[in-house]
Structure formats: C-alpha cells, structure tokens
Structure 1
C-alpha cells in the first residue's frame, strides 16, 4: 500500500504539492442510489446555462448587491482579481439558492475544502472549489471528471450533492456535512465548516 507520505513526496516531485496541500481531501463515498434518486440528481445537475439572477423586487436586487459587495471585500485577499471574484460569488449565490442552501454555509464549505482554489485536487482525487469526487460525473453527470474544474459545474455538483445529503439525513446538517466529507458522525469536519461559515454570515442591516 502506498503511504500518504509517499504520495506527498511524489506530488512534490511533480510540482503538485501546493494544490494537494490546499485541499481538505474530502471523500464523498459512492453509495447505491435508487433509480428515482439518480434521475432526480441528474435532472438537478442538467442545464448548466449561465446564472440568470432574478429578483422579486427592486429591494431584493439591492439587498443582493449589498451582499455581493460585503462578500467581495471579505474574499479579496483570497481571490484578488475582481472579475473572477465577482463571477465566483454570483455563481455561488445562484447555485446555493437553486439548491435551497445558505450561501454563507456554502462559502464556509468552500473555504474548508479548497481554500477557494479552483484547481485544488485532494489526495483522494476530489476536485475543485467544493472538492467533488470524480465518480459523481459518472453517476449523475456526463462522465467527464475534467468538467469539475469548471466553476459553475463544480459549484452545481457540490450544492446538489450537499442538498442530497441534507435530504437523506432528514435535515440534520451535522450528519449531512459529515457524509459530504466521508466522515459521518465525526465532529471535526462539520465543526470546521460551521466555524468558517461564521465569517461569511451576513445580515442586511437595512431590513
């Protein structure tokens, strides 16, 4: 069996260590899915058209812009390029809402999983911002794990998978996060995500 230390030495020799060491090494486990669940997840992943932000009112749109400004300031050190940062935040907000998730929670998960590195790869092979395991592209996607390095695709998969785990755990976020990481029932990972999420919590003081 190849040890973790041997893997790290090999990665260092190949120039990959910065990517590997920055990823949390999430390990979603491949589990049997009922056909109905597989179909629902496949449908949720489909239609990767660019995010089209829609708002119920002008005030809702203004509230979103205030959120975007606040998050952009917080993220600037980790993602210096303004256009990249704006696209990332807009896409994450869209995909979070589409999956019925809190954007602050998803930002916390991205921070823990990849430290906001688009091309992060874990020792287990998980990829991208939300460290999605490649088997998911075979189970509910187009079978090409390379697409997990595409911003919207990665965020779409990550949010849909997390929503699936939350539903599977009857709304228990602690257990769902553990399942996302492959460490169900252990406190380290959920606690790390909860702690990181507090940095991204936002309350619109104008409401």
Structure 2
C-alpha cells in the first residue's frame, strides 16, 4: 500500500444500515460526473466567490504550493460543499483535521483521501472503485454527501454529525478540532 509520513487522524466511520431512500439519495449525490462549474445569480455573487477563492488560496499556499492544484482544489471544495448545502469553510476545516490537505492520506482505519472517506462507502453508494477515493473531486463529493447525510440524521446538530463522520460520536475531541479549524477558514 501507500507509505505516507504522518498518519491521518480519521476515526472509523461506521457502516450503518441505511434506508433505501437514503442509499439512493447518496448514490445520486455522488453519481454526477460533471466537473465543478460554479454558476452565479449575479455579479455580486461572482465577486464574493472570486474574493473567497483569492483569500483561501493565499491561506492554503503553504500546504498546496502549486497554483493550479490549489485553485482546482479550492474550486472543487467550494463547488462540492455548496452542492451538499455545506459551508465551504467547514469542509476546509474538516479536511485540515482529517488529512492536512494530503490527497493520498490513508488513516489507520483505512479512510482515504482529503476527506478520509472509508472504502465501504464505494460499496454502499458507489461503483465499488475504492481507488477513486484518491481522485480529488470524487473524494470531496463523497465526503460532502456523507457529512450532509449525517447532519440530516442528527437533526442539524453539527457537533454530533462531525462525531458520526469521524466514528467518535459523543466524544468532544474531533468535533472541537474541526470547529476550531473551521474558524481559520471563515
């Protein structure tokens, strides 16, 4: 397998029994192969996005030094977060805690990629292609869809949803770390 410096700190997401409607909704959420292409209602929204992209790019430059890689990553993270109804800053904070922005991060539990998605998800809602979890857009799409599902399951309680995402529901360390990291990306 891949030998990487420093283990990612993802917990062990639990494979849970899902209602067929939830499984179908998640499968549809990750299915769309279209690349991120943000659309804006007006010029003010476009300008806010461009300001966000420039600001986040400057903050992330140390972790992702290549301009093209960094800008593609940020555009994809923004797109997938918004697509799932999440704050892009929350997603960036989660990625900071989960993988420290390492595309090929693998946790001790076997979670993969930027958002540390457990491979069982490819069987539950995907096409069983576990190696696709190292593809940036695929990983971000899975991670955002899964976090959205957990938020819905927890009635909008972000603290519990983050714990469920990490496999540490009810323990404060992980949700607190993500919430703290999120403040860096607001």
- TM-score range (shorter-chain normalised) is over 0.9
Q: How many residues align?
A: 186
CA-CA distance at 1:93 after TM superposition: 0.2
TM-score normalised by the chain length of structure 1: 0.88
- Which of 182, 185, 188 aligns to 2:173? It is 188
Does the residue aligned with 1:74 lie in a helix, a strand or coil? helix
Q: For structure 1, which runs of at least 5 residues remain unmatched after alignment? A: 1-13, 202-207
**Kept after mapping to 2: 8 A contact 1:128/1:148:** yes
Match of 1:36 among 16, 21, 30: 21
Task: Note if contact 1:22-1:115 (Cα within 8 Å) is conserved in structure 2.
Answer: no
Alignment match of 1:106 (pick from 74, 78, 91): 91
The secondary structure found in structure 1 opposite 2:97 is helix
Counterpart Cα distance in 2 of 1:200 and 1:188? 19
TM-score by length of 2: 0.98
Alignment check: 8 A CA contact 2:122 2:129 kept = yes
Q: Deviations over 1:18-73 (max 9, x none)?
A: 1xx24113311001111111111111111121111100001110110000000000
Q: 2:9 aligns with which of 19, 24, 35?
A: 24
Structure 2: 5+ residue runs without aligned partners? none
| Contact in 2 for aligned 1:68/1:90 (Cα 8 Å) | yes
2:132 pairs with 1:147: yes
Aligned with 1:128 (options 86, 103, 113): 113
